[in-house]
């Protein structure tokens, strides 16, 4: 099986790049393989593209913007994904069935990730408590672990758990094992900051 990413996400990725400062957008596009840019622009949103294209754009964005701004970029990009119809339906269903909190966010990561990626490895919750959780990501595609940048973008995207739930929290590394193609994310949050969304 070949790891893939939805073209819909890649098109949004390029739109987010183009919304950066013009010099930054030109730099990132200039570093990117022209074939990647052409394929993303021409394919249908529902198509599947090689995950290497996602990794390539991530590496260029992270290198051009630096760690702090790249972190903000990936959070904003992920929040944009949540505005698509397929994600809105998924989030609404989650709220109706089990409520939405950082804890349930961690539980639903495998399904949510599957809306963007295919054959991406596997997720498993190692711990889920009232104010913390640990999430194992294993059998990560080789293209995604040639350096830490793609996984750092995933960690940044997971901070949207706190945007969705109006909670103050952080996602840190418990384990980052590139050679073993596995990572453990440590979610921690303040329960007193959880908004009303998860209790409706």
DSSP codes of every residue in the chain: ---EEEHHHHHHHHHHHHTS-HHHHHHHHHHS-HHHHHHHHHS-TT-EEEHHHHHHHHHHHHHHH-HHHHHHHHHHHHHHHTTSHHHHHHHHHHHHHH---HHHHHHHHHHHHHTTEES--EEEEEEE-SSEEEEEEES--GGGGSSSHHHHHHHHHHTHHHHHHT--EEEEEEEEETTTTEEEEEEEE-GGG--SGGG-
Query: Do 94 and 24 belong together in one domain?
Result: no
- In this prediction the pTM is 0.92
Query: Do 161 and 192 belong together in one domain?
Result: yes
Q: Taking the chain (200 residues) in consecutive chunks of 10 residues, what is each chunk's mean pLDDT?
A: 94 98 98 98 97 98 98 97 90 84 93 96 94 97 97 98 93 97 97 45
- The domain boundary, picked from 31, 53, 81, lies at 81
Question: What local confidence, expressed as pLDDT, does residue 180 receive?
Answer: 98
Question: What local confidence, expressed as pLDDT, does residue 197 receive?
Answer: 38
Q: Which domain holds residue 36?
A: 4-81
Query: Do 125 and 194 belong together in one domain?
Result: yes
Query: Do 109 and 139 belong together in one domain?
Result: yes
Query: Do 115 and 177 belong together in one domain?
Result: yes
Query: Do 99 and 189 belong together in one domain?
Result: yes
């Amino acid at each position: 099986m070949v790891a893939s990413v939805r073209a819909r996400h890649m098109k949004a990725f390029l739109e987010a790049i183009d919304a950066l400062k013009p010099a930054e957008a030109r730099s990132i596009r200039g570093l990117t393989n022209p074939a990647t840019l052409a394929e993303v622009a021409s394919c249908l949103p529902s198509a599947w593209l090689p995950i290497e294209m996602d990794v390539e754009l991530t590496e260029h964005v992270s290198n051009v913007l630096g760690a702090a701004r790249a972190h903000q970029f990936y959070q904003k990009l992920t929040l944009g994904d949540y505005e698509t119809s397929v994600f809105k339906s998924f989030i609404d269903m989650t709220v109706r069935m089990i409520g939405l909190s950082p804890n349930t966010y961690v539980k639903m990561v495998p399904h949510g990730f599957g809306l963007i990626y295919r054959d991406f490895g596997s997720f498993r919750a190692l711990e889920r408590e009232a104010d913390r959780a640990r999430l194992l990501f294993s059998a990560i595609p080789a293209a995604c672990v040639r350096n830490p940048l793609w996984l750092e973008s995933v960690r940044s995207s997971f901070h949207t758990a706190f945007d969705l739930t109006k909670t103050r929290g952080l996602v840190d590394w418990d384990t980052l094992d590139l050679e073993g193609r596995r990572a453990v994310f440590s979610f921690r949050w303040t329960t007193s900051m959880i908004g009303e969304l998860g209790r409706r």
